[in-house]
């Protein structure tokens, strides 16, 4: 599995609209055959910052970055970001998606 986390700091005037601005890209990516998950979260500590956590099957990363929706999104994103997004990308991660955390169980 390819695991990717990206931190996006959005210009203040677009931050509240970021879910809407990224919706087309998000939906298209989620429908890719090799996509395992693609999830946005808003930071609780960093203003105007969103985290994107995504995973793909090992052989699907190239298809993702070569897709029309990816190319369109990265062409438009510079208009909305306040700084270059920060990324962690790891290939060859064991597993096929989210697993349960053994240390915490509901009571």
Lay out the sheet containing 49-56: strands in order across.
35-42, 49-56, 2-9, 86-90
- In whole angstroms, give the CA distance from residue 100 to residue 4: 19
* Domains of the chain, first to last: 2-90 (3.30.70.100)
Q: What is the pLDDT of residue 34?
A: 92
**Looking at the predicted structure, is the pLDDT value of residue 60 above 80?**
no
Share of the chain above pLDDT 90, in %: 88
Determine phi and psi for 11, rounding to 5 degrees: -55, 140
The per-residue pLDDT for range 10-45, each reduced to its tens digit, is: 999 999 999 999 999 999 999 999 999 999 999 999
| Stretch 39-67: mean pLDDT | 93
**Looking at the predicted structure, is the pLDDT value of residue 72 above 90?**
yes
Better-predicted residue by pLDDT, 74 or 96: 74
Q: What is the pLDDT of residue 58?
A: 86
Q: What is the pLDDT of residue 49?
A: 98
């Amino acid at each position: 599995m390819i695991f990717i986390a990206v931190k996006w700091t959005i210009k203040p005037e677009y931050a509240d609209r970021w879910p809407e601005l990224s919706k087309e890209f998000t939906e298209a990516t989620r429908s890719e055959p090799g996509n395992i998950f693609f999830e946005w979260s808003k930071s609780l500590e960093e203003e105007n910052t969103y985290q994107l956590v995504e995973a793909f099957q090992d052989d699907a990363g190239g298809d993702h970055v070569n897709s029309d929706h990816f190319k369109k999104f990265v062409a438009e994103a510079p208009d909305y970001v306040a700084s270059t997004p920060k990324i962690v990308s790891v290939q060859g991660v064991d597993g096929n998606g989210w697993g349960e955390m053994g240390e915490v169980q509901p009571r």
